[in-house]
């Protein structure tokens, strides 16, 4: 069968290109998604995942990740603050414990016990962005942690000229979800993130929660998410897409129905964005977003292509 990887956002090639050679040589889909996630997590220029991720309101970075190949084979960590590669730790939770999810200090003690190296996750660049955010008196008021944190234009805080930035169609770089299918037709997924920038300390989004940020079932397909986690969580977005595919929907139809449910059930801000990637057992795939701005990366034997999503629900 034709191996392929489908990844959220335009920095997908960073990970997919590293993992694809082994996948083409017959490597397992799980190895491919973990390898791709690890490369992206280590890249300090990607400010939404791993090293270089933007911090919470107190200036501390916390990472969340999960991996999955089947309902009985998944692992996750959340609120990891001192390790660069949460996806690898999530894999160990799956392979070496009787649990699915470890959080916070317990997850870090587990990583220590396996010899994962501790590292500094907060980069000088991410700290500078946070310091600019803190200087705004409106944001300092958020110390009270009450109510809704309005969407933030991180590009402006970073001092990027939004008119000339290289990925002009992407207002924010977000969670990386990677789906892969190997030569045997086996599916796997990984989802890794530093979560919403300047979140309330302690907040965990959809990304490390099986069924929300990622879901894989060898009998039905795989799906993963990026965007405002609170919205994705409310509809169990990735699980819903896989269940719709199980009942016969094509990946693009399953994504559309899930986005329509989100649109119907939430009071959406203009800035809310949610996007999904999905792959059926047969290898059909699609991506879709609530609004323009999202792009996916598809990688196969020809190489990686960064493309517009298959569908966009709301054409602003
Ligand atoms: N879904 C992630 C979260 O809510 C963030 C993102 O994709 O931007 O934590």
Instruction: Indicate the domain borders of the chain.
Output: 4-312
Residue minimizing CA distance to atom 9 of ligand 1: 195
Question: Tokens 């699609």 label which residue?
Answer: 286
Quote the CA–CA distance of 190 and 216 in Å, as a whole number.
10
Residues 71-107: pLDDT tens digits?
999 999 999 999 999 999 999 999 999 999 999 999 9
pLDDT tens, position by position, 26-76 = 999 999 999 999 999 999 888 889 999 999 988 999 999 999 999 999 999
* Closest residue CA from atom 4 of ligand 1: 229
193 lines ligand 1 (CB under 6 A): yes
- For residue 144, what pLDDT band results from cuts at 50, 70 and 90? low
pLDDT higher than 90, residue 133: no
Pocket test for ligand 1, best of 178, 213, 230, 296 (most atoms within 8 A of CB): 213
Residues 120 and 81: their CA atoms lie apart, in Å, by 8
Topology of domain 4-312, CATH:
3.60.20
Determine whether 175 is an active site residue: yes
Cα 60 to Cα 149: distance, rounded to the nearest angstrom: 17
Give distance in angstroms: CA of 213 to centre of ligand 1.
8
Instruction: Give the residue-averaged pLDDT of 270-293.
Output: 93
Both structure tokens of 85: 């590669």
Q: Tens digits of per-residue pLDDT, 146-191? A: 444 555 566 666 666 555 544 444 555 589 999 999 999 999 999 9
**Alpha-helix runs per DSSP H in the chain:** 12-24, 29-42, 86-96, 104-113, 124-135, 137-140, 154-157, 229-234, 237-246, 251-265
Please state, rounded to an integer, the average pLDDT across all residues of the chain. 90
Cα–ligand 1 centroid distance for 200 (angstroms): 13
Residue nearest to atom 6 of ligand 1 (CA): 227
Structure tokens at 70: 């089947």
Predicted confidence at residue 138, as pLDDT, reads: 66
Q: Whose CA is closest to 192, among 8, 5, 4?
A: 8
pLDDT digits 0-9 by tens, 252-276: 999 999 999 999 999 888 778 899 9
Q: Among 87, 175, 193, 228, which one carries the catalytic annotation?
A: 175
How many other CB atoms sit within 10 Å of the CB of residue 142? Answer: 18
For ligand 1, is residue 174 a contact (CB within 6 Å)? yes
Contact 51, 119 (CB under 8 A): yes
Q: Can you tell me the distance from the alpha carbon of 257 to that of 263, in angstroms, rounded to the nearest whole number? A: 10
Rounded distance, CA 177 to CA 296, Å? 10
Give the Å distances, CA to CA, from 289 to 187, 263, 304. 22, 11, 20
């Amino acid at each position: 069968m034709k191996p392929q990887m489908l990844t959220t956002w335009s920095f997908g090639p960073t990970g997919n290109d590293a993992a694809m050679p082994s996948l083409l040589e017959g490597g397992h889909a799980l190895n491919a998604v973990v390898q791709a996630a690890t490369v992206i997590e280590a890249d300090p220029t990607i400010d939404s995942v791993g090293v270089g991720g933007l911090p919470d309101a107190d200036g501390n970075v916390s990472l969340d990740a999960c991996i999955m190949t089947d309902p009985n084979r998944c692992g996750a960590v959340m609120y990891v603050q001192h390790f660069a590669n949460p996806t690898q730790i999530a894999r160990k939770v799956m392979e070496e414990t009787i649990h699915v999810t470890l959080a916070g200090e317990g997850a870090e003690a587990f990583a220590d016990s396996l010899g994962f190296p501790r590292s500094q996750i907060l980069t000088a660049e991410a700290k500078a962005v946070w310091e600019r955010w803190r200087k705004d008196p409106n944001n300092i008021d958020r110390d009270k942690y009450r109510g809704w944190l309005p969407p933030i234009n991180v590009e402006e805080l970073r001092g990027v000229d939004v008119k000339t930035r290289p990925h002009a169609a992407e207002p924010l770089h977000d969670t990386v979800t990677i789906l892969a299918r190997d030569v045997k037709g086996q599916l796997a997924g990984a989802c890794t993130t530093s979560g919403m920038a300047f979140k309330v300390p302690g907040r965990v989004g959809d990304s490390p929660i099986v069924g929300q940020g990622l879901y894989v079932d060898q009998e039905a397909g795989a799906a993963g998410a990026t965007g405002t986690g609170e919205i994705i969580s409310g509809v169990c977005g990735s699980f819903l897409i896989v269940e719709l595919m199980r009942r016969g929907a094509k990946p693009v139809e399953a994504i559309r129905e899930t986005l329509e449910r989100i649109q119907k059930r939430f009071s959406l801000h203009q800035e809310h964005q949610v996007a999904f990637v999905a792959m059926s057992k047969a290898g059909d795939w699609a991506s879709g977003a609530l609004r323009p701005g999202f792009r996916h990366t598809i990688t196969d034997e020809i190489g990686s292509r960064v493309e517009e999503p298959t569908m966009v629900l709301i054409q602003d």
